[in-house]
Chain A
Amino acid sequence: MDIMSKRGKLGAFTLWLIAVVIVILVLIPFLCALRISLAYAGTTYVPFTAPITFDNFKTLLFNTLFPRWMVNSAIISIAVAITNTFFASMAGYALARGKFKGNNLLLTLTVFSMGIPYHLTIVFNFLLMYKLHLTNTLLSVILPLAVDPFAIFLARQFILTIPPSYDEAAKLDGCGELGVIFKIILPMSKPLLLILFVTEFMNAWNNFIIPLVMISKSDMKTVTVGIADFSYATLNVNWGVIMAGSLLGSLPTIALFALLSKRFIKSFFVGGVKG
């Protein structure tokens, strides 16, 4: 747009300043959590000048099952991300391009399913998992999350933005249906696949209610359930350890995000076909 006018340079700097202020606002809660995690007291306020200690982290890593919980969460999240990326994008493509009976019905069903919270489905899902002898295993969390209706919806919406004219152009060039998929849709869907993978990984990692119900053995729990455990376990709430666990428990998702953030953010930056 047209900010590079006479007031341009000043305008640009002010905007940059506002952006930085917002960055600070976003990061402050994390900084507070960090400060509490590095303190002895375990209270909810710790002056920034108080001495620093890693005791809480030591307790967390050596005296609790936290490391095991991290491993459990990792396995579950990777599995769920993969199943979603494959199956949801396949279904999304079918919904976007497929002219078949029941397309609208399936779409309505999918959107309907998006609104179904896990709390409604959890009892029956648990009974199902028990009959299959899968409770207290990681599969009992992976399977209900394996395909997220939102992922299907997202895939459909995305593929719809790829103009059918591309498909037709490719077909005129002699591609079959499969060719269209691999030569046109797939390459253009890289941003979609990436978003699906990362979003569903994080959805699984951060999920609370499903591992809460499916898993009762302490060593099979996930990180989210474990952190909540700390708050509810005994009356001796030690915020230092809880904050330490909260921060460490967020590290994988933050790290994954940081690693892929360039591509991930860039995917939002790609507009569709420009004028």
Chain B
Amino acid sequence: MRSLKWYFLLLPAYFFIFTFYIAPILGVFTLSFTKWAIISEPKFIGTKNYMRLVKDEVFLISLRNTLLFTAILLPSLLTTSFLVALLLYKLTKGIEAFASVYYLPMVVAIVITATIWRVLYSPFGYLNQLLRMFNLPRMIFLSEELVIPSISLALIWRDTGYFSLFIYSALLSIPKSILDAAELDCLNSYQKYRYVILPMMKPVLFFLSLYITIGCFMIFAIVYVMTGGGPGYASMTLLNYMYETGWRYFQMGYAAAQSAVFLCLIILMYYIQRKLIGGGGVYGYYE
């Protein structure tokens, strides 16, 4: 059978994927219809968890916060990465060296990034010291109003370099012939970007948008370390609330229902992105 060799290549990888990703998810869906505190036996309660979810204020706040992160980070990261990529593209010397440094924050564990930035944001830390030097009032960066932008800033610091390299690579792969043709057609800079360059970047932009969006939904560790979801519920994200519900409030069934909704949201994001930016590529994707 011709297909056999493909299955042979796929087997090891998908054995792990099934065991450690798929099977647990099926288990989670089953769990969402129960009431379970881990140390007790699961008790079947039908759709009660989902009905509770609809009225749960804190869940809605977590959803709002997660979407807020996405709304802030998607445009900012795409912009900063694009600008940095453009900078690299136009540089003549030392590109590799600069790129290496820009990539550096990504290399560090998110827990460590969170700890370092928490220290920076402390009411008596470096950033506030800087403000005091200019006689400005101290800012509480992790206050209710500022916590999400502050955490986003730390994430922008971390991810820009990494994403810029993807865009840079895509910029490089634009055939020179097309750029020369654009020159010959006397397109100005704006037209060049809008009609020639950006369309050719569609695959990369789609990929990055999806990656950033999913990344925003997966925000957990940085909030856990920097604020624990506070102040109040201001930085509580979907995963943080899910974690607290399951592990701190002993309501695994309810947390499982949240997980199910969470997964549906991720899938929804995927299809929205597909529609908006499209997945098409130069060499044809099987989609």
Contact = CB atoms under 8 A, between A and B. Distances in A.
Nearest to B270: A111
Contacts of B175: 274-275
B207 interface: yes
A137 B263 CA distance: 30
Interface stretch (B8-16, B47-55, B56-64, B67-75): B8-16
Interface residues of A, number: 96
A107 B90 CA distance: 36
A64 to B, nearest CB: 16
B109 A208 contact: yes
A233 interface: no
A143 B105 contact: no
B112 interface: yes
A268 B270 CA distance: 25
Interface stretch (A49-57, A167-175, A224-232): A224-232
Contacts of B176: 274-275
Interface residues of B, number: 98
Contacts of B82: none
Contacts of B21: 113, 116, 121, 149
Contact of B102 (A12, A26, A32, A243): A26
Contacts of A205: 109
B173 to A, nearest CB: 3
Contact of B9 (A19, A93, A146, A269): A93
Contact of A147 (B5, B12, B243, B283): B12
A257 B104 contact: yes
A98 B6 contact: yes
A91 B129 CA distance: 52
Contacts of B37: none
B84 A254 contact: no
A109 B6 contact: no
Contact of A87 (B13, B22, B109): B13
A98 to B, nearest CB: 4
Contacts of A274: 173, 175-176
A87 B12 contact: yes
B139 interface: no
Contacts of A114: 214
A185 B217 CA distance: 34
A103 B119 contact: no
B10 A106 contact: yes
A88 B13 contact: yes
Contact of B98 (A19, A36, A119, A257): A19
In the complex, the 8 A-B pairs of residues with the closest C-beta atoms, listed nearest first:
A275-B175, A271-B173, A206-B109, A91-B13, A121-B24, A275-B177, A115-B266, A147-B16
Interface of A: 1-3, 12, 15-16, 18-19, 22-23, 25-27, 29-30, 32-33, 36, 43-45, 83, 86-88, 90-91, 93-95, 98, 100-101, 103-104, 106-107, 109-117, 119-125, 128, 143-144, 146-147, 149, 152, 157, 160-161, 163, 177, 202, 205-206, 208-209, 223-224, 227-228, 231, 239, 242-243, 246, 249-250, 253-254, 257-258, 261-262, 265-266, 268-272, 274-275
29 contacts: A15-B90, A23-B102, A26-B101, A26-B157, A44-B119, A44-B120, A94-B6, A100-B6, A107-B286, A109-B22, A114-B214, A115-B263, A117-B218, A119-B242, A120-B259, A121-B24, A124-B28, A125-B20, A143-B20, A147-B13, A147-B17, A208-B110, A224-B111, A250-B108, A253-B107, A257-B104, A261-B96, A265-B103, A269-B95
Interface of B: 2-3, 5-7, 9-10, 12-14, 16-17, 19-25, 27-28, 38, 84, 87-96, 98-112, 115-117, 119-120, 122, 124-126, 128-129, 157, 161, 165-166, 168-169, 172-179, 183, 207, 214, 217-218, 220-221, 225, 239, 242-243, 252, 259, 262-263, 266-267, 270, 281-287
